[in-house]
A and B are shown apart, each in its own frame.
Chain A
Amino acid sequence: MTVLALNGIGHAYLGRSVLDDVDLRVAPGEIVALVGPSGCGKSTLVHIAAGLIEPRAGRIERDYLRHAMIFQDPCLMPWATAAGNIEYVLKLARVPRRQRTRRISEVAAQVALDGQDLAKYPVELSGGMKQRVAIARSLAVRPDFIYFDEPFTALDVALRRRMQDLVISTCVCGRLSGLFITHDLHEAARIAHRIAVLDTRGHGILGERRLTDEPQSRDDAAVFRWVQSALADDPLFRHIHDVDERQVA
């Protein structure tokens, strides 16, 4: 049983093929991390999966009720307060006005935002707080599937770790399904149930590895050992840190 199935996805920008024959499946309650070097088409694939881009080839089957998305840039409307940004997606989801305030308070508590933070404009918030608001916004619509498009790439190491913990506590423990795009294998190993590797030139999924226990029960030492072993011994991960700047541009 799958909640998301990508079958033979292909896409091109201005005649240059960026994705070709990509197949990927996500099971209910499963977080799948998609890793690959910069410029391999990960973000394009997640945008196609979320319906933001029409693929040139292939079929997408979505068997979830509602999705949400967390972007690399928090994408907060600068003219609205943190509460206003969360309320915006609730309006789009047609949540009745009377329920919105309660919903905002609930998700704010989940991501440790207080009333003062909610009344602030994005320009008054730090990078980490903005990303918290973005996570709260995604949780507010009560999705059963979340797309993560390299959400913590721009954050420093300590902040990134806190955000990963937040995702584990809210999404993984909440049994949400998700597709997590990252080029950081350590991040993938912390958060995901399964890691898939996209080909350097986007020509399909090279392979995937399932991690043994649940993300919330993995300790740092186990994650570190798994990443070291994968990078040293597993040929699947040999090229995930390759970067072709020309291709990225």
Chain B
Amino acid sequence: MDEPFHLSLTASLAKRTGRVLHFVWSGWAGLAALCLLAAAWQAGHEAYGPFILTSPLETLREIRTLAADPDAWSIATMTLQRAVTGFALMTAVGVVLGVTAGYSSATLRIAAPLITVLLGVPPIAWIVLSMIWFGPSDATVRTVILVTALPVVFLGAAHGIATRDRGLDRMAQAFGAGAVRRFLTVGIRQTTTTLFPALALALGTAFKVAVMAELLANAGGIGGALADARINLDIAQALAWVLIAVILLLIVEYTLVHPVKGEIDRWRHAAQPWGVKR
């Protein structure tokens, strides 16, 4: 043996730390994109003036002011809590239903038109219905997130299972794996290709829909704060709250979805040609 194939704990930790640092380093591309956006924003501000579009720096100053206010923290936490719990609920339901449909082509065929119907109904319609059913509460926001983001996750999970490599199923069966073991060790791993992009999309939808539902249902949170800013025609505060919602989304995505995806899909890194890796 030239090299041990099972890493020691220290070597394993070092490798994992290396992956985390590599992930952090890869953030420069995202940072560059954000700087470009800020430049376009500044240009818009200079063209239309502060009443239409406040400058990025002024918006950041407004965020700093909000950060010093404990009420603003509770507003942001309320939206964060609603979006994340709604996302978690929708992920659980979507994955269970999608995996079930993926294993049963008849179910997938029956579900396909229903998904089209769900996708066709505008989120605003669900907000109105949820307001009638649940009033201005957490349940309204979570229900709207569930219904609007569910089709994407459902399809991601269903297609992951339906397009799985059946040769791996046969291999596992030939070596004695039962149906449940095959699903847990071979089936579910193959959904990641389609499921993770769906989850990233669904997470963005969850935050957007949460803010929209809060605004229209008068249910507090960032949506409620945006409604107040609109009434006061306070552009700087409105943009600050929008930026806060985006920052919360990025924090959740890059601390929850991407690390899990990176850990599960680390073999894909090995498949990338040199140069694409950095």
Interface string of A115-152 (1 = CB under 8 A from B): 11011110110000000000000000100000100000
Contact B189 A77 (CB under 8 A): yes
B74 within 8 A of A: no
**Known contacts A101-B6, A114-B1: A68-B270 contact under CB 8 Å:** no
A-B contact count (CB 8 A): 75
Q: Which residues of the other chain, A, contact B271 by a CB distance below 8 angstroms?
A: 121, 123-124
Kindly identify, within residues 22 to 53 of chain A, every residue whose CB is under 8 Å from any CB belonging to chain B.
47, 50-52
Interface bracket on B: 20 to 34
Checking A68, A88, A114, A115 against B185 with a beta-carbon cut-off of 8 angstroms, the contacting residue is A88
Q: Which residues of the other chain, A, contact B172 by a CB distance below 8 angstroms?
A: 88, 92
**Known contacts A81-B5, A83-B6, A114-B2: A69-B267 contact under CB 8 Å:** no
Contact B270 A123 (CB under 8 A): yes
Q: Which residues of the other chain, B, contact A147 by a CB distance below 8 angstroms?
A: 174
The secondary-structure label for the interface of chain B is: helix
Interface string of A67-95 (1 = CB under 8 A from B): 11101010101111111000011001100
Q: Which residues of the other chain, B, contact A75 by a CB distance below 8 angstroms?
A: 165, 167-168, 170-171
Kindly identify, within residues 171 to 224 of chain B, every residue whose CB is under 8 Å from any CB belonging to chain A.
171-177, 181, 185-186, 189
Q: Which residues of the other chain, B, contact A71 by a CB distance below 8 angstroms?
A: 167, 170-171, 174
Q: Which residues of the other chain, A, contact B167 by a CB distance below 8 angstroms?
A: 71, 73, 75
Contact A89 B175 (CB under 8 A): yes
Interface bracket on A: 35 or more
A-B pairs, top 6 by smallest CB distance, nearest first, are A118-B5, A115-B3, A75-B171, A69-B174, A83-B5, A115-B1
Q: Give 27 CB contacts A-B under 8 Å.
A: A51-B173, A52-B170, A52-B173, A67-B174, A69-B174, A73-B167, A75-B167, A75-B171, A78-B267, A80-B267, A83-B5, A83-B6, A88-B172, A88-B175, A92-B172, A92-B181, A105-B1, A108-B1, A115-B1, A115-B2, A116-B3, A118-B5, A119-B5, A120-B270, A121-B267, A123-B271, A124-B270
